Amino acid sequence: MFSLHSVNFDDMIPNWKMNTFEALNHILVLVVQGRLTYTFNHVQLKVEKGDLIYIPKGTLRGAENDGDHPHRKYTALFQHSFPRGVFPWFDRNRVVFGKTRHYDQIRQLFEELYREKVDEKPLHNFICVGKLQELIGLACRGVETASISPMKWKLAEEIKSYLLGHYREAVDLKALAAIAGLTANYTVSLFKEVTGQTPHQYVQQLRLAKARSLLTSTTMNVSEVAEYLGYYDASYFYRKFKQATSLSPTEFAAQAKVE
């Protein structure tokens, strides 16, 4: 769980400087204008608009305007009690820095979080925690993938579009390679780098999502669903479905009807 300590908005403060001290909370920072220089454990880092920084609790940090250039930034200070494996940043216990692919969404969430915290309307603490969790989840996702080139993203999205239209068919690596203009092996590597899945795994995900929908919204039985989705071995579909949901297709459909 999260607990929010404070949310701050620094708005073009001249001669702004923060002395070095140990962070007592975890901190998330989004720079929205200008430049500034941070020092983390005696290492300097210059940041600018669009940069997102996660600073773990216990980090020695200091900061100041970059020369005569003031800045605008949002800062959220928080504590958490999540176990390992939930948010990758927390497991590493080090400063994370980079551009985010979700800048507009993250800025909007920061603005909403800041207003909610300042206004202190009824249930503001409950609402703030929800916004903070969404903000950190989106921030982790965006910065983790920020080093991937725009061209790779474009190719991966084109491959995704193709797979969305052909997910009931066997994965045709030659067709995917033709879309990317690359070898089949490199196309698979590129897709996995961007999405974290191989094309086969992505198609499996699409099929199982559709299976859940069909089992709960139609009168199709398990064999019919398996055949429709391109599983010519119903027992293989059964195993894959249970691995993904911990329920057999029949159990899943029955439970959904009860709910």
Per-residue pLDDT of the chain (259 residues; tens, 9 = 90+): 889 999 999 999 999 999 999 999 999 999 999 999 998 887 778 888 888 999 999 999 999 998 888 999 999 999 998 888 788 788 878 888 888 878 899 999 999 999 999 998 899 899 999 999 999 988 887 665 555 565 777 788 899 899 999 999 999 999 999 999 999 999 999 988 877 789 999 999 899 999 999 999 999 999 999 999 999 888 999 999 998 888 999 998 888 765 5
Buried b (16+ CB within 10 A) or exposed e, 89-121: bbeeeebbbbebbbbeebbebbeebbebbeeee
The ranges assigned to domains in the chain are 2-144, 150-258
Same fold, 2-144 and 150-258: no
CATH number of 150-258: 1.10.10.60
What is the pTM for the complete model shown?
Answer: 0.59
In angstroms, how far is CA 240 from the centroid of its own chain?
A: 25
Per CATH, the number for 2-144 is 2.60.120.280
Beta bridge partner(s), residue 79: 3
